[in-house]
């Protein structure tokens, strides 16, 4: 256990290795929404207005950081968004899970990755806002590549805007060398995603539509013919 100011870092052993946890004092403010978070944005079509009201009803929190500084936190609001990702259909959650797996296994492995699950979650939220309809998430492979392109753009530009607080850059404390290394791996993946995604979609000899069957991670209505596990690619940037 390591104490730095008011923050406590705890190392825990799990079945997958050592995990480091940061503990900090938190003040919950469940009855109001921060004025520094003007959300939802004007003309935004995701989430629905009813869902947005539900999200804001959970309020926000203040996390104690350093030198008497308090950081805004929207953990409960983000959880609600994640829980209802696919309430209108589509496969946003499956795409996010695959993106996280690729990050952990290929793009940014290690115990202290420069890109965290929260970064990926923010990329997901921004992409859902840009592509708000269920039909935009009908094909698993297209959705995954869309998220990967958005992540690559943010890492390459070293800028990822906080989903609720416009002025916040979630990559501001990351080193340029670390981000450039991740950007390079993402670029290689986007050039030829097939080899890395061979387990996400594949053809099978069993009875199925067009001789192909979906694996966990795909979505209804999103069957795509794949050859030797290769995902279809596109040269169009959607980030």
Strands 70-73 and 60-64: antiparallel
16-25, 178-187, 194-203: segment of lowest average pLDDT: 194-203
pLDDT of residue 112: 84
pLDDT of residue 19: 66
The neighbouring-strand residues paired with 9 are 2, 22
List the domains of the chain with CATH numbers.
Answer: 88-194 (1.10.1410.40)
Across residues 134-163, what is the average pLDDT? 96
**Mean predicted lDDT score pLDDT of the chain:** 80
- pLDDT confidence tier of residue 4, bands split at 50, 70 and 90: very low
> 53, 44 in Cβ contact below 8 A?
no
DSSP run (H or E) holding 109:
none
User: Cα-atom radius of gyration of the chain, to the nearest Å?
Assistant: 19
Q: Is 26 or 107 the better-scoring residue by pLDDT?
A: 107
DSSP letters for 14-59 = ETTEEEEEEE--EEEETT---TT---SPTT--SS-HHHHHHHHTT-
DSSP letters for 126-185 = HHHHHS-SGGGGS-HHHHHHHHHHHHHHHHHHT--B-SS-TT-BTTTTS-HHHHHHHHHH
Strands 70-73 and 212-214: unpaired
Reply yes or no on whether the pLDDT at 209 is more than 60.
no
Taking Cα atoms as reference points, which of 197, 198, 99, 199 lies closest to residue 155? 99
22-26, 108-112, 186-190, 221-225: segment of lowest average pLDDT: 221-225
Reply yes or no on whether the pLDDT at 237 is more than 90.
no
Angle (CA) 140 102 136, round 5°: 25
The neighbouring-strand residues paired with 22 are 9
Q: Give tens-digit pLDDT for 29-81.
A: 998 999 999 999 988 999 999 999 999 999 999 988 777 788 899 999 999 99
User: What is the separation of C-alpha 116 from the centre of its chain, rounded to a whole number of angstroms?
Assistant: 9
| Bond before 159 cis per omega within 30 degrees | no
């Amino acid at each position: 256990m390591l104490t730095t100011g008011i923050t406590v870092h705890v190392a825990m052993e799990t079945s997958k290795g050592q995990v480091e946890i940061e503990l900090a004092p938190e003040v919950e403010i469940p009855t109001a929404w921060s004025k520094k978070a003007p959300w939802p944005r004007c003309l935004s079509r995701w989430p629905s207005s009813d869902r947005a009201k539900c999200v804001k009803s959970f309020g926000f929190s203040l996390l104690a950081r350093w030198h008497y500084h308090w950081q805004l936190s929207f953990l409960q609001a983000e959880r609600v968004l994640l829980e209802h990702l696919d309430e209108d259909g589509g496969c946003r959650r499956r795409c996010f899970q695959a993106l996280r797996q690729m990050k952990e296994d290929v793009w940014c492995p290690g115990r202290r990755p420069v890109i965290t699950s929260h970064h990926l979650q923010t990329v997901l939220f921004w992409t859902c806002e840009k592509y708000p309809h269920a039909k935009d998430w009908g094909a698993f492979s297209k959705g995954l590549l869309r998220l990967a392109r958005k992540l690559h753009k943010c890492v390459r530009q070293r800028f990822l805007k906080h989903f609720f607080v416009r002025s916040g850059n979630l990559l501001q404390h990351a080193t340029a060398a670390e981000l450039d290394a991740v950007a390079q791996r993402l670029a290689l993946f986007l050039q030829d995603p097939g080899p890395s995604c061979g387990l996400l979609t594949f053809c099978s000899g069993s009875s199925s539509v067009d001789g192909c069957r979906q694996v966990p991670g795909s979505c209804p209505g999103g069957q795509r013919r794949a050859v030797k596990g290769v995902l279809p690619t596109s040269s169009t940037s959607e980030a």
